[in-house]
């Protein structure tokens, strides 16, 4: 910075702890919450399977050629549960954020496989 023709340099200030430059609303690292929603993100798979079973049973015999309706609802439910739980875990700033991310990826895997299968279906 220049003050009255002289260049004044400010010293570089390093943080004394990892929490010094964190947002004031963020809880301290040592007080982070248990990864409850991170673990819930893994429930996307069984919830999606249950939704697929219910949708298939409800649609049985109603329309012709609707064999993929239950599966499509199930894979979408699985991916949605995994994503919503992971976002909730990040908002709560839970410990071990990788747990929710892995749960969301595993919950979205059936959707990816379903879409790839639909693209390469003859």
Residue 26 lies in a domain: no
Instruction: Give the mean model confidence (pLDDT) for residues 55-62.
Output: 77
Residue 92 lies in a domain: yes
- Which has the higher per-residue pLDDT, 62 or 30? 62
Q: In terms of residue numbers, what domain contains 78?
A: 33-119
Residue 72 lies in a domain: yes
Residue 19 lies in a domain: no
Q: Which of 94, 91, 83, 76 is nearest to 36 (CA)?
A: 94
List, as one string, the DSSP characters of the chain.
-EETTEE--PPP---SSTTTTS-TTSPPGGGPBP-HHHHHGGGHHHHHHHHHHHHHHHHTTTSTT-TTHHHHHHHHHHHHHHHHHHHHHHHHTBS-HHHHHHHHHHHHHHHHHHHHHHHT--
Residue 88 lies in a domain: yes
Is the per-residue pLDDT at 53 higher than 70? yes
Instruction: Indicate the number of domains in the chain.
Output: 1
pTM of the model: 0.68
Residue 25 lies in a domain: no
Summarize pLDDT for 64-122 with one digit per residue, the tens: 655 788 888 999 999 999 999 999 998 888 888 889 999 999 999 999 999 999 899 86
Residue 16 lies in a domain: no
Residue 22 lies in a domain: no
Summarize pLDDT for 14-43 with one digit per residue, the tens: 666 655 556 666 656 556 788 899 999 999
């Amino acid at each position: 910075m220049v003050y009255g023709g002289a260049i004044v340099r400010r010293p570089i200030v390093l943080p004394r702890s990892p929490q010094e430059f964190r947002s004031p609303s963020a809880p301290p690292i040592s007080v982070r919450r248990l990864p409850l929603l991170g673990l819930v993100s893994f429930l996307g798979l069984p919830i999606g399977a249950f939704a697929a079973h219910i949708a298939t049973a409800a649609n049985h015999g109603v329309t012709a050629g609707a064999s993929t309706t239950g599966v499509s609802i199930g894979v979408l439910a699985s991916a949605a549960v995994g994503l919503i739980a992971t976002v909730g875990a990040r908002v709560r700033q839970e410990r071990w954020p990788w747990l929710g991310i892995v749960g969301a990826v595993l919950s979205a895997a059936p959707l990816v496989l379903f879409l790839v299968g639909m693209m390469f279906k003859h």
